[in-house]
Structure 1
Amino acid sequence: MAQSVAVLVDGDNISGKYAKDILTAAGKHGEPSVVRVYRDAQSLSDWHNAYGYRMIHAGTGKNAADILLALDAMELLLVREMRCFVIASSDGDFTHIATRLRENGAKVIGLGEEKAPDAFRACCSRFVELGARKPVAPPRLVPKEKLPVRAFDLNVRSIIAERSKNRTGARLSEVSQQMYIKHDVKISSFPEKNWRSYFKARPELYDLDPPGAEAKVRFRPEGFSRATTAALRKSA
Structure 2
Amino acid sequence: MMAQSVAVLVDGDNISGKYATDILTAAGKHGEPSVVRVYRDAQSLSDWHNAYGYRMIHAGTGKNAADILLALDAMELLLVREMRCFVIASSDGDFTHIATRLRENGAKVIGLGEEKAPDAFRACCSSFVELGTRKPVAPPRLVPKENMSVRAFDLNVRTIIAALSKNGTGAQICEVGQLMKSLHGVTTSGFPEKNWRSYFSARPELYDLDPPGAEAKVRFRPEGFSHATTDAQRKIA
Q: What TM-score do you get using the length of structure 1 for normalisation?
A: 0.94
Specify the alignment match of 1:9 in structure 2: 10
Looking at structure 1, the residues matched to 140 and 224 of structure 2 have their Cα atoms a distance apart, in angstroms, of 16
- Partners of 2:144 and 2:227 within 8 A in 1: no
Deviation for aligned residue 1:133 = 3.5
Deviation for aligned residue 1:183 = 1.4
Deviation for aligned residue 1:189 = 3.4
Q: Deviations for 1:137-189, whole angstroms, at most 9, x for unmatched residues? A: 94697961121111111111111111111111000010111111111222233
Q: Deviations for 1:172-225, whole angstroms, at most 9, x for unmatched residues? A: 010111111111222233210011111111111111111111110011111111
Specify the alignment match of 2:126 in structure 1: 125
Looking at structure 1, the residues matched to 140 and 209 of structure 2 have their Cα atoms a distance apart, in angstroms, of 18
Q: Which runs of 5+ in 2 are unaligned?
A: none
Specify the alignment match of 1:225 in structure 2: 226
Looking at structure 2, the residues matched to 45 and 229 of structure 1 have their Cα atoms a distance apart, in angstroms, of 49
Moved over 6 A (4+): 139-142
In 2 relative to 1, CA 210–82 (structure 1 residues): closer, same or farther, beyond 3 Å?
Answer: same
Pairwise mapping of residues 31-180 of structure 1 onto structure 2 (< 5 A)?
Answer: 31-133=32-134, 135=136, 138=138, 144-180=145-181
Looking at structure 1, the residues matched to 175 and 11 of structure 2 have their Cα atoms a distance apart, in angstroms, of 26
Equivalent position amino acid for 2:33 in 1: P
Q: Which runs of 5+ in 1 are unaligned?
A: none
Q: What TM-score do you get using the length of structure 2 for normalisation?
A: 0.93
- Partners of 1:148 and 1:231 within 8 A in 2: no
Looking at structure 2, the residues matched to 233 and 112 of structure 1 have their Cα atoms a distance apart, in angstroms, of 39
Equivalent position amino acid for 1:207 in 2: D
Q: Which moved more, 1:184-193 or 1:86-95?
A: 184-193
Looking at structure 2, the residues matched to 220 and 122 of structure 1 have their Cα atoms a distance apart, in angstroms, of 23
Task: Report the count of equivalent residues.
Answer: 235
